[in-house]
Chains A and B, each alone.
Chain A
C-alpha cells in the first residue's frame, strides 16, 4: 500500500519540469500572438495549469501534501478569476461589439 508509485520510479522529475516549461511557453506564445481576448484568457489558464502540474509533480515526488493544497487554492482563485474576467469581456463586447484587444489600446497609456 505504501510503495512508491510506478511513475515516480520510472519517470525522472526532470521530464515533468521540461513538460511544464513547454506548456508554459505555449501559453506565452498564445498570449503574444492572438488578439481575441477570450483566447488570451484561455492561454493564461494554460499557464496556470502548467504551474499546477509542476507543483503536483514536486509534491508527489517529495511526498509532501502542502504542494497539492497550494494547487487546490490556485484552482479556487482561478475559478473566481474566470468568473470576473469573462464578465468583463462580456461587458466590453456589449459596449464596443468586439473582443479585439487592439480596440482597447488606450488602456496602455
Chain B
C-alpha cells in the first residue's frame, strides 16, 4: 500500500517536472510546478516529516508559486513570446543532463545505505515539537540570522521594484 503510494507520487513528481520543462506556455509551467510541489508534500508526509510537509505546502505552494503566477500574469506572457534555442543546442543540453544522470546513478548504485540502529530509532523527529526544540536549542543563531536575511531581501526587492527617475514610463 505505502509502496504503491510511493511509486505513484514519484511518477507524478517526475511527470510534472518534465511538464515544467517541456510546456510552451509559462502559465502551464507554473501549474505543473504546483503539481510537483504537491507531490513532494505527499513525499514528506510519507517520510513522517509533517512539519516540513506543512511548510512546503504553505511556503512553496502557497507563497512562492503564487508569486511566480502573479509575475507571469503581470508581464502578460503568451505562448509565442519565447524564442526557442536551436534544436542542436537543445539536443546537446538533454544529452548533457542525461549523461550527468547516468554518471550519478552509476556512482550511487552500490552505495551502502544501512538503516539506523532500530533500538534508538525515533519516528517522531519530524513533528513540530521535536523540530522546534532542536531549532531553538542548537540552531538559535542561524534562525536569528535568517531574519536579517529576510530584512535584506525585503529591502532589496522594494528597491529593485521601485521606478527610477530616468526610466521610461511604459509599463
B residues sitting closer than 8 Å to A (CB atoms) are 1-3, 6, 10, 13-14, 17-18, 20-21, 26, 29-30, 33, 36-37, 40, 43-44, 46-49, 51-52, 55-56, 59-60, 63-64, 67-68, 71-72, 74-75, 77, 81-85, 89-90, 93-94, 96-98, 100-101, 104-105, 108-109, 111, 113, 115-116, 118, 120-126, 130-131, 134-135, 138-139, 142, 146, 149-150, 152-154, 156-157, 160-161, 163, 167-168, 170-171
A-B pair number, CB within 8 angstroms: 251
Q: A8-B115, A60-B49, A63-B121 are in contact. Are A73 and B84 (CB under 8 A)?
A: no
User: Which A-chain residue is minimally distant from B75 (CB atoms)?
Assistant: A93
A88 touches B60 (CB 8 A): no
Contact A11 B49, beta carbon cutoff 8 Å: no
For the complex, is A105 an interface residue (Cβ under 8 Å from B)?
no
Let me know if A80 and B6 touch, CB within 8 A.
no
Size bracket of the A interface: 35 or more
Q: A33-B93, A46-B17 are in contact. Are A5 and B134 (CB under 8 A)?
A: no
